[in-house]
Structure 1
Amino acid sequence: MAKISLTLIQTFYQVARHGSFSGAARELNLSYQSAANHVRRLEQILKGKLIESEQGAKRISLTPRGRALYSLLHPELDIMLERLTKLIESQRSSLRVGMPQAIFFYLFPKVLSRFREAFPDIEFSVYERDTVLAELVKNGSLDVCISERYFGDPVVPQRLLGSYRLSLVFPRSWGEPPEQQDIPAWAEGKPFITYEPGQTLRNLAVDFLGRDGAIVQPAISTSGSSSVMRCVEAGLGFSIIPSWCVGAADVAITAVRLTNLPEVRVYFGSAGFLQTHPTVQRLFDDCLRELVGPVFDPPRGKEYAHPPL
């Protein structure tokens, strides 16, 4: 088979997406005839009809083989082209990773230290967010995401890193901690500090505190666990946060590990075509070595071992 060029694939993709040769021609800055010629050439290479078009008709239709090819390309081709553009523009290798602020602030320095030993010339660019991570990977703005959400999106495949427990934290001056089953009643009337609307940990905490019909109204909302902890330390209220945010030095805080809440799972995701890329695989391996065991519980139901060094 003759070699298929990216130009032919891109032209077919745009014709299929716009439903016309003229729409693709405008998108790619080609003539109508060039767009048509590119598709005909691709059909010759593949030895099969991809597009049906009647003489003088403005719209085209895809053959079964054309639909199959378009489904294979969409939306990966857009993501790949966007990444290629950004790589060419940057002139420097970079890995763009999105994750919740707490994971980066509390856990990631050790991961970064190991990763930087292997790739000292790569810029590690971090986007500290909990929401919209899947969309950012899909539109080419991120390469990798570490998330407490499972997207269920084949374009952004995810691997389970592990899970962790949550803790109730409040100023030590408030006295003895409540029994876990009494926490929702104990919390009524007390100022609640939590994360921005839409964040996974806020949703879990609100569901837990409101399980008996109580109305949960946060007093303070912030973007990350470091800010939540600072507010609790200042005596402004209580919160429910990852257990690994609380250290021995946090003497102004009482922490209660919540075993009656489900463990929070943490997933490592990337664009599908980057899943086996050496840089992405190395970051995944470093996350396993530095986070699973010391911080996260390993995945259940199978024997777990760190990958070989």
Structure 2
Amino acid sequence: MELRQLQYFVKVARKEHVTQAAEELHVAQSAVSRQIHQLEEELGVPLFVQKGRNLQLTSVGKLFLGRAEAILTELERAVMEVREFLDPEAGEIRIGFPHSLGIYLLPTVVAGFRQTHPNVKFRLRQGTYNSLIRDVVNGELDLAFISPFPERHEHVTGELLLQEELYAIVPEGHVLAEYQTIRLEQLKDDSFVMFSEEYSLRNIVLEACAKAGFVPRIGFEGEETDTIRGLVAAGVGVSLLPEMALTEISQLQPAKVRVIDPLVTRSIGLIQRKGEKLPLVAEVFHSFLMNFFDPYKK
């Protein structure tokens, strides 16, 4: 069994398509098909079945995928450790983050770290709450910023970094646009622009509205803070967004109003896989983050 066979198998399993896998691997489709066929012959079982134009893993294929991914992850980790041993300042940090932290927080901490570690590389992955935890557990990420911070989890551990306030955003012509503070119930008759169901900010907003005594009427849904902010600015509804998501100035700018009843916040934390030592360069970055966020904890 060759390493290339495992790499090709994992790529085809993820794409569910030989042609797309071959394109990402920058090899001929025939080469991918040949390696998969040889792997199946060596194992003595089919790993895929044809389903329409796509390939679907067999039950044995699903079992083998988990092991193959673990092998490739450990191999990648070993290569990184060797490189870090030769030159810790030339290592790579794999870090995940939700979109709402990619506007201000992530660029700020990366830029700050690179001032003293200019040769360190970052491999960044944006994701939802569940996908970030999954990628940390699977070893595909060293660290991940996450919100809300999971106080208890079977497979990940970490630190709470800060609590961030959410603000109401309304169109410039809205009756509450000039207010300094509002009660959330004052928006109960408005149409809300909400995050999709897989995003944790949606639940935070729904819970806040429940505390205020109403169920929001959802007019539009989006997957990024920029989209939601733009739709509100265009006059299609109102919403609640984290303060950091409102730092960027754009042509379509909603009015930002503080909500004092109830006060709406979200927790932001940093997670890593439980019971596993971080790579050296990631450990250095972790220490940097702890010092960076220390003032927010006081």
TM-score (norm 2): 0.62
User: Between the two proteins, what is the percent identity of the paired residues?
Assistant: 17
Aligned residue in 2 for 1:61:
none
Question: What SS class does the counterpart of residue 261 from structure 1 fall into?
Answer: coil
Deviation at 1:130, TM superposition (A): 2.6
Question: What SS class does the counterpart of residue 115 from structure 2 fall into?
Answer: helix
Residue identity opposite 2:184 in structure 1: I
Structure 1 residues 114 and 228 mapped into 2: Cα distance closer, same or farther (>3 Å)? same
Aligned residue in 2 for 1:155:
155
Report if aligned partners of 2:167, 2:241 keep a CA contact under 8 Å in 1: yes
Deviation sequence 1:165-220 (CA, Å, 0-9, x none): 110011121133579674335332x2211212132211011122244663334222
Structure 1 residues 265 and 273 mapped into 2: Cα distance closer, same or farther (>3 Å)? same
Structure 1 residues 222 and 285 mapped into 2: Cα distance closer, same or farther (>3 Å)? farther
Q: Judging by fraction of residues, say which structure has more strand.
A: 2
- 1:134 maps onto 2:144 in alignment: no
Deviation sequence 1:5-49 (CA, Å, 0-9, x none): xxxxxxxxxxxxxxxxxxxxxxxx99xxxxxxxxxxxxxxxxxxx
Report if aligned partners of 1:107, 1:291 keep a CA contact under 8 Å in 2: no
Deviation sequence 1:128-151 (CA, Å, 0-9, x none): 123222121111222111111333
- 1:256 maps onto 2:262 in alignment: no
Structure 1 residues 185 and 175 mapped into 2: Cα distance closer, same or farther (>3 Å)? closer
Structure 1 residues 147 and 79 mapped into 2: Cα distance closer, same or farther (>3 Å)? farther
Q: Distance in 1 between matches of 2:294 and 2:78?
A: 35
Structure 1 residues 109 and 182 mapped into 2: Cα distance closer, same or farther (>3 Å)? closer
Report if aligned partners of 1:184, 1:209 keep a CA contact under 8 Å in 2: yes
Give unmatched runs, 5+ long, in structure 1.
1-28, 31-76, 299-303, 305-309
Report if aligned partners of 2:158, 2:271 keep a CA contact under 8 Å in 1: yes
Deviation at 1:288, TM superposition (A): 4.3
Paired residue for 1:83, among 73, 94, 97?
Answer: 73
Structure 1 residues 135 and 243 mapped into 2: Cα distance closer, same or farther (>3 Å)? same
| Structure exhibiting the larger radius of gyration computed from Cα positions | 1
Deviation sequence 1:222-242 (CA, Å, 0-9, x none): 222222222222222211011
Q: Distance in 1 between matches of 2:200 and 2:294?
A: 20
Q: Distance in 1 between matches of 2:236 and 2:290?
A: 36
Question: What SS class does the counterpart of residue 128 from structure 2 fall into?
Answer: coil
Aligned residue in 1 for 2:289:
287
Aligned residue in 1 for 2:184:
183
Report if aligned partners of 2:160, 2:269 keep a CA contact under 8 Å in 1: yes
Structure 1 residues 109 and 205 mapped into 2: Cα distance closer, same or farther (>3 Å)? same
Residue identity opposite 2:76 in structure 1: K
Paired residue for 2:122, among 121, 124, 129?
Answer: 124
Question: What SS class does the counterpart of residue 102 from structure 2 fall into?
Answer: helix
Q: Distance in 1 between matches of 2:212 and 2:265?
A: 21
Q: Distance in 2 between matches of 1:146 and 1:126?
A: 11
Q: Distance in 1 between matches of 2:165 and 2:282?
A: 27
- 1:269 maps onto 2:259 in alignment: no
Question: What SS class does the counterpart of residue 157 from structure 1 fall into?
Answer: strand
Question: What SS class does the counterpart of residue 173 from structure 2 fall into?
Answer: helix
Residue identity opposite 1:272 in structure 2: K
Q: Distance in 2 between matches of 1:275 and 1:256?
A: 43
Mapping 1:66-77, distance limit 5 Å: none
Q: Distance in 2 between matches of 1:273 and 1:115?
A: 25
Report if aligned partners of 2:103, 2:244 keep a CA contact under 8 Å in 1: no
Structure 1 residues 194 and 282 mapped into 2: Cα distance closer, same or farther (>3 Å)? farther
Question: How many residue pairs were aligned?
Answer: 221
Question: What SS class does the counterpart of residue 96 from structure 2 fall into?
Answer: strand
TM-score (norm 1): 0.60
